[in-house]
Structure 1
Amino acid sequence: MLLVGLDGPLQLQSAGAAICSHSALLPAGLELEVDSQNSRVAICYLDVFGEDFALLAPRMAHIQGGVLHGLDSETASIERFDQLHRQCADPEQIQAWMEELINPHQCAPAGFALDSRIVRVVELIKADVACNQSIAYLAEQVGLSVPRLSQLFRQKIGIPIRRYRQWHRLFVTTVGVARGMTLTDAAMVAGFTDSAHLTHTFRSIMGLKPSAVLAHAQAQRIRLFAA
């Protein structure tokens, strides 16, 4: 994901490194702590296959503890995110701005290639988010052994299949809330069996209770955008 502090720098702790920056690019699977220092933060979830990350990485000035930081268009990006936070932008406007931010020249990242087998596995997981297809089933669909699929998935996506499934369910829940559903209904659609299941998964990945982020988002000055 891409983090941008709108009112001041963010304090990040990762792999023993202490980082202070207004913008940070985080690879999948990285464990870290983030202190917003009471700043508003734009949190941008990038594409799962890593193309957005590959486009943004060369534009970051520094890397410490696995965190890339110091976006080349940082000042302009802060101004733009601030505008979007203050106005009622629609999903199409947000999508257009994100495309302009991530890939202004509409070019493919150097050396980046998708693996059609991993693309298919992700499609199968997304097709029925509430279903827990076994890794054996997914491997059979793409003609790989279970060990090879597990290895290739982690290599290409950055996290294990199970972790990706959990993350995608959180994403679907968040999109549901952004589109006006209650937190409970959105979680059910995403395949969480009950509130305890959602809370455990959310805390294990985000380090927060879902109610701290998704419940009464507007009252907490949180704006959720989903294309």
Structure 2
Amino acid sequence: MDTLLSRNVLYLWDQRTFFLGVLPEPRQVSQAAPMLAVSLDQPMRVQAENCGRAIDCHSALFRSGQQVRIDSGNGVVALCFLDPFGQDHANLAAAMTDVHGGMCVRLEQEPFFQSAFAQVFRKPPAPDALYLVLEQLFHQDKAHPVLVDPRVAKVVQRIKSSVADNVSLAELASEINLSVPRLVELFKGHLGVPIRRYRQWHRLYVTAVGVARGNSLTEAAIAAGFTDSSHFSNTFRTLLGMKPSTMLSHQHRVRIFAPALQGRDVLLTADQVRRH
């Protein structure tokens, strides 16, 4: 595939995030959400904690909370961060052919996924159209429904609705009539990550949406609850394995598709954002 056909693209939705393009360097990621990685041309090398060794493959599925290393060798790769409650992960895990430790590799219909993502790379569709494609890909063979405790769902919604505020664990626990230790245990049991990491992950999403709406990176980060741009950059490096400037620099430009205030979708070249 000609990797010069299109720039990198980043699609943002409330339940999923989808990146497609060339990763500028190997990534060491601290998973805050389940993730599917699909290489469109050459094999990528992936390794997850408890896996024991690196594996060369074209598709891999990781659960939330894992430490993951991905080296795409400058090939085109699709990274889809899945719904935090795990239904996407459950469906896709049932469609993988091999399991190594806590990592699933090699989709049964790998060529079908590669073909669908290659079309996106050549001609990025509207967000609604791509979301429908992902729904069809991820939910071909539904696994058993993932049951989510309504108390956990309520806490997630509370975090989203007050993203700029550091609502305390005590306040969150009180709102659902649980002790703090029980809330911490229940939340991690359902989402695979602590509340703090999930909140950081959601703040990265909100920051990216703010940038797509025309705010500067600093303005968007502060509005999302980061104390300053350094706080945002440190969180970005921890969770995504690179500095924001590495992904958002002119050399690795990213087109960002995100929901706008009036419900429309905005397209922005991220090289308009100053480096951090």
CA deviation digits over 1:118-171, x for unaligned, max 9?
000000000011111001100011111100000010110000001111111112
- Give the aligned residue type for 2:44: L
Displaced runs of 4 or more, over 6 A: none
Q: Alignment partner for residue 152 of structure 2, among 118, 121, 131?
A: 118
Q: What CA distance in whole angstroms lies between the structure 2 residues aligned with 1:32 and 1:154?
A: 18
Q: What CA distance in whole angstroms lies between the structure 1 residues aligned with 2:88 and 2:102?
A: 17
Asked whether the equivalents of residues 46 and 69 of structure 2 are also in contact (C-alpha less than 8 Å), the reply is: yes
Q: What CA distance in whole angstroms lies between the structure 1 residues aligned with 2:217 and 2:122?
A: 23
Q: Alignment partner for residue 184 of structure 1, among 218, 226, 247?
A: 218
The percent identity for this pair of structures is 47
Counterpart of 1:165 in structure 2 is 199
Q: Alignment partner for residue 252 of structure 2, among 220, 223, 227?
A: 220
- Give the aligned residue type for 2:156: V
Map 1:9-20 to 2 at 5 A.
9-15=43-49, 16-20=52-56
Q: What CA distance in whole angstroms lies between the structure 1 residues aligned with 2:74 and 2:84?
A: 29
Q: Alignment partner for residue 74 of structure 1, among 110, 121, 126?
A: 110
SS in 2 for 1:220: coil
Question: Larger RCO: Structure 1 or Structure 2 (Cα < 8 Å, ≥ 6 residues apart)?
Answer: 2
Map 1:146-157 to 2 at 5 A.
146-157=180-191
- Give the aligned residue type for 1:137: E
Q: 1:175 to 1:40 in 2, by over 3 A?
A: farther
Normalized against structure 1, the TM-score is what?
0.91
Asked whether the equivalents of residues 183 and 214 of structure 1 are also in contact (C-alpha less than 8 Å), the reply is: no
**Structure number with higher strand proportion:** 2
SS in 1 for 2:74: coil
Q: Alpha-carbon deviation of 1:45?
A: 1.3
Asked whether the equivalents of residues 87 and 145 of structure 2 are also in contact (C-alpha less than 8 Å), the reply is: no
Q: Alpha-carbon deviation of 1:179?
A: 4.9
- Give the aligned residue type for 2:170: A
Aligned residues: 223
Structure 2: segments with no counterpart, 5+ residues: 1-34, 260-276
SS in 2 for 1:29: coil
- Give the aligned residue type for 1:161: I
Q: Alignment partner for residue 50 of structure 1, among 86, 91, 96?
A: 86
Q: What CA distance in whole angstroms lies between the structure 1 residues aligned with 2:104 and 2:157?
A: 29
Structure 1: segments with no counterpart, 5+ residues: none
CA deviation digits over 1:181-220, x for unaligned, max 9?
443333233222211111111111122101112354xx52
SS in 1 for 2:94: helix
Q: Which moved more, 1:190-199 or 1:175-184?
A: 175-184
Q: What CA distance in whole angstroms lies between the structure 2 residues aligned with 1:179 and 1:71?
A: 35
RMSD (Å) for aligned C-alpha atoms: 1.8
